[in-house]
Every structure is written in C-alpha cells, then in structure tokens.
A and B are shown apart, each in its own frame.
Chain A
C-alpha cells in the first residue's frame, strides 16, 4: 500500500489493570510532533485507546476553570479520565452524565509522575458517549481476546515492543492474560445482567447452566483463580 496517505492511529483494546501499568512512553522518531506512545506491558505500542466501562464517579477538580475527572470501571480496575477546556465536548459530557452509567471512551494515554516518583497513567478523552450493556459486553470480549493475543505473542521472535516491555518493566504478561480470561468468565456468568446486577448473583445457575459447565466449575472462583 501507499505510504503517502496519512495513517490514523489505531485504538488499542486494553483493560484498566494493564493500562494503568503502562507508565513508559516513547516516540518512534526525533520529530518534535512525532506521536507519543504508551508501552503496554503485554508488548504493544498505544497512542490511542478505546474502552467501555461504568462511570462510577465524576468530579470537577479544576481550580479556576472546569477540569473534570471521571472514574470508569472495567472488570479489572479503574480508568481515570481527565477533560478540561481543551476537550470541551468530553468535559461537557462528564458534566452532564449521571453515574452510574455505561460509557464508551476514545482517548489518548497520558502519564504524569507524582511527587513520590510514581507514574500515573490516565486518559485524555477525544469522545465520551453513553452506551448500552451489549456494547460493554462486546468490548470486554474483544479486549480479552486482544489481550490474550498480545500475551501469546510476547515471546515471538522479532516482537519489538515485547522486547521493549521486558527492558522497561518487571511485569509478567501472564497476569494480564489471567485477568482477561477471568473478565470473560465473569461475563459468561452474568450473561443477561443489566447495569446494577440486581440480585442475580444469588441465583443465576438456572439461567445459563449450559454455559457455566466448562467455565467455572463451582460458580464461585471466577475472579480469584483464573484458569492456567
């Protein structure tokens, strides 16, 4: 294909637990305007992400101008989203949304270092929209698949970003694979649940016993002990 057409950065699918560990950033060239990538610990570059989760809290943390922070939860952890005057549409979306709500976010990874030297990873949103449970479930399934694929390719010869991840992090991609599988298993158990998960935990064996057969033998350990 031609090199001349500008290429848009793909939006990576990554769970919060892995995203929040992606504190190392790099560029591919010395150009001042070269895109900045966050290095995913499973060995992939990421200049953009797409995720769907539950907005659980929002707060205007700005001092002079509005600066909204949203906490968006997926099966593995919490994404932090910050939107201010330079992201007016996303900021007004956060202002208007009432948690809890399923939201889809397209955005750029951002890192900052706290006073004690910890690197925090957050998202600067390009868009935030309210979506339904189907969209959330589809994202979880898709993200589990992409995560497991990355973990599986981690030891491939010539996997440049895996090599980089090995150098920059002391993190085992198998952890993220396990989290991804367990997210998918949870999805299987809660099949058909709506947002609040209203009491269905107590008695969901009847609804999908065919599915739970080979996934969680005793229906209780899905989060704690993922399959090897």
Chain B
C-alpha cells in the first residue's frame, strides 16, 4: 500500500463517525496536492484534514486519530502523536494556570510521564492512586522531554487493578568531565512543596527566604561520543564523595564561602569514570545507583579493537 493510500485511509477513518467520506476521495485530494502542487505530505495531510474539519464543523482537538496506538509511557518519543495509555495517576500538581484543570504524573510499568488536562475539555476529574485506561491523548514535546495532553475526545475508563509504576531507569557510563554551577552545598526554598534552589538567597517563586542547606552535584558524563547530564541528590552525593551535609557546612563555615564544597568535591570525582543508573527527568538522569567500573578488561578491549 502506498504511503498516500495509508494516510488517506487514516484520515477517512478519523472522520468515519462524522462525515461520509471514503478513502478514495481523500487519496485523490492528497494526490492532487502532493503530486500536482508539490506540497509535502505532512502539509497535504494537514490541509486535507482541516478542510474536512470545516465540513464537519469540528475543532481539531475533537478529532481522534482513528484507532490510536496503545503505548507505554517510556516509548513516547515523538511530538503530536495520538496514543492510548494504561496508567496510574501517580501524582497531582498545583496547576499554574486557570486554563489547566489538572496536571501531574501518570505512570505505568515503563515509567512516568507528565500529563495536562485543560478546563475547556470538560473531562471528569482524575483521582490520585487510581488506574485508568486513557484513549486518545496527544503527545507533546518541550526541550526534549515529553508529556501527554488530554483533550475532549479522550476517553477515560477507570480500571480496577494495581499498576506497578516503573522508574524510566537509564544506565549511562562515562568520564565525569564537568560539575555545573548549582552543585555542592546549596540552599533550597523552605516553603511547603517548593524545593527550588535559591539564587543569592532568593527563590524564583517565593522571593527572599531563609534557605535550607542541601547537597547535590549536577555533573556531566561523557563517553567520547555523547554527553549526559546527571544529578546526584544528597544521598548519592554523599556516596560519591564521602562528604556529608554537616562536614560540608563546617567546611563552608571555615572558608566563609559555600563554593569551596563543590571545588573540594570536584577534586575527588572529576576525570573519573562512573556507571550510573536512574530515572530520566527532562535532560537529566537522576542517579539512584552508581558504580566505579573498576579495572578495564584489556583482553576484551584488544579483541574488540582488532575486530573493528
């Protein structure tokens, strides 16, 4: 089946509940745009879909992707895809805008993903800890991280089962080539549910506050081909550097300067190889486990090198 034909059938299917339109007719219109007018297929699909939307008097977000695909949240790697999910509502967050009715985290065995539901979609409220089948949600991408948007065509079905939520764990290995600013001994906003890192004693949300000390390292692992940004939280930082919060505070107190802590940590960890595992959050891997890869297996390296 040609690509055009596939697109045509998909479009016809999307409108099957609303319009009497056959795949042949859609294909003809696509073909005209693509072959006659040299319009790229994506644009042609968009334009044909829009004209049918107009015919049907529908909004774009009312349109389901006829039989959208059932996926795991960790498989989502493309913008604007219509998908079905089988997930548990892991966490609800405070919406930052009046147009948002609910925002939070959905999870399945593969990991978690952010979701947003809008007021205009008139959807029933989701409950934390409840498992759902969500059909017809749309994927969204921002700076490399993905989320899903619920819309008015989204069907929400409560299901009566427990979903074991996974942690999107990734393993990366490489040399730690940089420790970024905002590492070492830091202060966090003490306001409830706000853990933002303070810049010069200010929280970007709550202004001047009396911060609470914490430890973390934002580092870069580099294997010579790709770079991965990783975050060690307090526990992981202590394991990595052997330096605890109290020791770090004493050190900063003695030096009258908190930056000495990150410098001291850099001495211990920069230029060493690490293998870390943890969930991916945006561009960061949050380190749950780490190990020193130890002595290199030279024999294996030789065999590998000779086979290239």
Contact = CB atoms under 8 A, between A and B. Distances in A.
Interface of A: 1-2, 4-5, 8, 10-13, 48, 50, 52, 89, 103-106, 126-131, 134-135, 137-146, 148-149, 152, 180-181, 184-185, 187-188, 191, 211, 215, 227
Contacts of B142: 2
B141 interface: yes
Contacts of B306: 181, 227
A50 B177 contact: yes
Question: Which 10 pairs, one residue from A and one from B, show the smallest C-beta to C-beta distance?
Answer: A104-B271, A141-B301, A13-B224, A129-B271, A138-B296, A141-B296, A129-B270, A106-B177, A2-B144, A188-B298
Nearest to A147: B305
B124 interface: no
Given A8-B227, A211-B299, 7 more contacts: A2-B142, A4-B143, A106-B270, A140-B296, A141-B298, A142-B224, A149-B308
A181 B271 CA distance: 23
B186 interface: no
Interface string B173-209: 0010110000000000000000000000000000000
A118 B22 CA distance: 73
Contacts, number: 111
Nearest to A213: B299
A106 B175 CA distance: 10
B125 interface: no
A184 B308 contact: no
11 contacts: A5-B144, A52-B271, A89-B266, A127-B178, A131-B272, A141-B298, A144-B305, A145-B301, A184-B301, A187-B296, A188-B298
B308 A148 contact: yes
A215 B296 contact: no
A12 to B, nearest CB: 6
Given A134-B295, A137-B296, A188 B302 contact: yes
B305 A10 contact: no
B267 interface: yes
B273 A10 contact: no
B237 to A, nearest CB: 17
Residue from A13, A106, A146 whose CB has the most chain B CB atoms within 10 Å: A106
B295 A106 contact: no
A215 B302 CA distance: 8
A211 B301 CA distance: 12
Nearest to B267: A129
Interface in B263-280: 263, 266-267, 270-273
Nearest to B177: A106
Residue from B143, B144, B175, B225 whose CB has the most chain A CB atoms within 10 Å: B175
B281 to A, nearest CB: 14
Contact of B266 (A50, A129, A131): A129
B86 to A, nearest CB: 26
B304 interface: yes
A160 to B, nearest CB: 16
